[in-house]
Amino acid sequence: MNRVRPPRLRPGSTVAVVAPAGPVEQELLAAGVAVLESWGLVVRVGEHVLDRHPRLPYLAGSDHARAADLQRAWCDPGVSAVIAARGGYGTQRVLDLLDWQAMAAVAPKVFVGSSDTTVLHEAIGARLGLATLFGPMIAGPLFDDDSRAHLRETLFAPERVTRLTGPATGSYGHGAARGVTVGGNLSLIVGSLGVAGCAPPPDGSILLLEDIGEAPYRVDRMLTQLLRAGWFTGVSGVALGSWAGCGTLEEVRAVVDDLLGGLGLPMLWELGFGHCPGQLTVPLGVEAVLDADDGTVTVLEPALS
């Protein structure tokens, strides 16, 4: 089922920047905020975005502080979009601290993030029924000119970026599939198995997968776990993104071919989303067509209304 598409942004829209996962570097944050402001957006940075957890250096402040920033931003009627500053690790730790009933009571708004925020995409889709944007982190090292341009078009003029493809996209399987886009970071999807409300994709889904820093045997283990859990039962097509630090591309291809090649699904390789330069902003929760022969994913309606 298609989710509600939040309203697009306009010059003067207010966006909130939060840090639900790892610690944020002040210089990268300032640079990312300056980019958003150059687009005519009013930027509010969460109170705890530059915090550090007192004992766990891989977290941006305490769980309650990170959750409070996210909750406050989402429930503020003046905020049109909530943007994650960076990924890392820690978003899972805040999910159960959020008041989802209060978040569902406000008007739909845009959520942008990738990597560790995959679990937020899942939760916002399942609990709030909203489409989200799996896009670049504004305080991350890969927020380059190309990723900025694609994010900007998606936020302000999403009808211009309905056809998604990357510079190295190739066919991996043949044919076309139509369905609702789901997925994100492989390790975060696997980490949600067995959690209430985190169901396998519905029938006809277009599954997007990417990861970073996972050895080929770990990619193998995670895909095997999803297969054993019946996670691919409803999948009609697969779009693979970046696999930075996951061994050579040939090694990852061998794993994917061995485990998914026999499913007979149309697939794409290197669509251009995830941890890569020029990262595409890919909408989740919208109907799309994956064409393996053409090397594209085409969103049938703009990501934002």
Strand partners, 180: 287
Taking residue 175's Cβ as centre, other Cβ atoms within 10 Å add up to 15
Active site includes 115?
A: yes
CA distance 28 to 119: 23
Report strand pairing: 296-299 vs 163-164.
antiparallel
Helix (H, G, I), strand (E, B) or coil at 248: coil
Sheet of 163-164: strands edge to edge?
163-164, 296-299, 287-291, 176-185, 205-212, 235-244, 267-269, 170-171
Q: Active site residue: 187, 205, 275, 287, which one?
A: 275
Which residues lie below 8 Å from residue 244, measured CB to CB, with a gap of 6+? 212, 213, 274, 275, 276
Active site includes 210?
A: yes
Assign residue 180 a region (left: φ > 0; alpha: ψ between -120 and 50; beta: otherwise).
beta
Residue type, 260: L
Residue type, 302: P
Planar angle of CA 288, 192, 133, nearest 5 degrees: 35
> Token digits for 205?
């889904």
Active site includes 13?
A: no
**Are 268 and 117 spatial neighbours (Cβ–Cβ below 8 Å)?**
no
Report strand pairing: 110-113 vs 81-84.
parallel
> Token digits for 81?
């979009």
Taking residue 126's Cβ as centre, other Cβ atoms within 10 Å add up to 16
Helix (H, G, I), strand (E, B) or coil at 96: helix
Planar angle of CA 293, 218, 200, nearest 5 degrees: 60
Q: Active site residue: 114, 115, 187, 236, which one?
A: 115
Q: Active site residue: 210, 214, 270, 287, which one?
A: 210
Catalytic positions are 115, 210, 275
